[in-house]
Amino acid sequence: MGTRPRLGQGGLLRRTLTQEHFDRFAELTGDHNPIHVDQEFAARTPFGKTVSHGMLLYRLIAAVLETRMPGPGTIQLDQVLTFFNPAFAGDELTIMAWVTERDEQRATLSAVVARPDGTVVCQGQTTVLLPGISFDGGKCQPVGGRSESSRAVARAMGLEPGQKATSRRVFTEQDLQTRAELVGEARPSLPDQERVDRTAGARALVPGDLLGGMISQLLGMRLPGPGTSWLKQTLAFPTLAHVGDEITATVEVSRLRPDRQLVNLITTCTSSTGEVVADGEALVLYRGLAQRDT
């Protein structure tokens, strides 16, 4: 079981991502957006070559939380991610997380994924339950919240507010094993048995980055579709998601800014009983498939 973190306490991890990581994450999540896996397509984009999935970077942050600090059994209540620069195959990345706030039950941590020269690839903030505290519902909104102006009416890029895309998936124990292998870590242990009984029953939990992977698959393959680049994602986890349960992911266009090729989408994952297990908003840059012809 992890220890109770102190203010300023941190954890650190270094990993080099390869095209194999991108391909394996695409297989795990179903997100075969060509900016991640199609080197010919990616060469014609402003990136010039394939880039990491945003949720693969989230997976690296989760690895710090689960294996360094706070440690095994960490349960995230929310997660905000902002993507500043792409991560390319072969980049050596340093992932750092440190405690910025805490009380008797929760801690807030900031996280950064950076290249050796200090270039920030991704920055995040998360709230986690401290070890030994039972889950009684997230009771929190995504950090930063949803934009109140996100229902602005506009039509462009073949999109319009209210458009939706949905997918369903049942996660397995093998999915959790594959997730662990992606970053070269042993599969994180579950919380202590007493805590499992109070929070999740006997079933393993589906971590936030896999739920985010369902959202990634919809954004990159369906709505807006291939060519989408993730800029920011906010997530809250009000209810635990379990292996073996059917999860439904939905993305809905809420705002369009065609002059800047920006799209806001409401992102939601629900369990088979209708409980929301992930709730938030995405901001993406959508250049579309026109890049194939450039």
* CATH superfamily placement of domain 10-293: Hotdog Thioesterase (3.10.129.10)
**How does residue 290 score in pLDDT terms, banded at 50, 70 and 90?**
very low
Beta strand 276-286 pairing with 228-236: antiparallel
Q: State residue 144's pLDDT score.
A: 44
In this prediction the pTM is 0.86
195, pLDDT greater than 90: no
SS (H, E, C) 273-291: CCCEEEEEEEEEEECHHHH
Cα distance between residue 129 and residue 132, in whole Å: 8
* Distance in angstroms (rounded) separating the CA atoms of residues 183 and 123: 18
User: Tokens 């498939």 correspond to what residue?
Assistant: 289
pLDDT digits (tens, 9 = 90+) for 70-80: 888 789 999 99
Whether residue 18 has pLDDT greater than 90 = yes
Q: Which residue has the tokens 């080197």?
A: 39
pLDDT score of 7 more than 70:
no
Average pLDDT of the residues in 266-289: 92
Q: 288: pLDDT confidence band, cut at 50, 70 and 90?
A: low
By the 8 A CB rule, do 64 and 12 touch? yes
Render pLDDT for 128-154 as a digit per residue (tens, 0 to 9).
987 677 787 765 544 444 443 433 434
Contact of 43 with 78, CB cutoff 8 Å: no
Q: What is the pLDDT of residue 71?
A: 81
Element (H, E) at 176: helix 173-182
Of 189, 265, 195, 183, give the one whose Cα is nearest residue 224. Answer: 265
Give the whole-angstrom CA distance, residue 87 versus residue 199.
36
Confidence of residue 11 (pLDDT cuts 50, 70, 90): confident
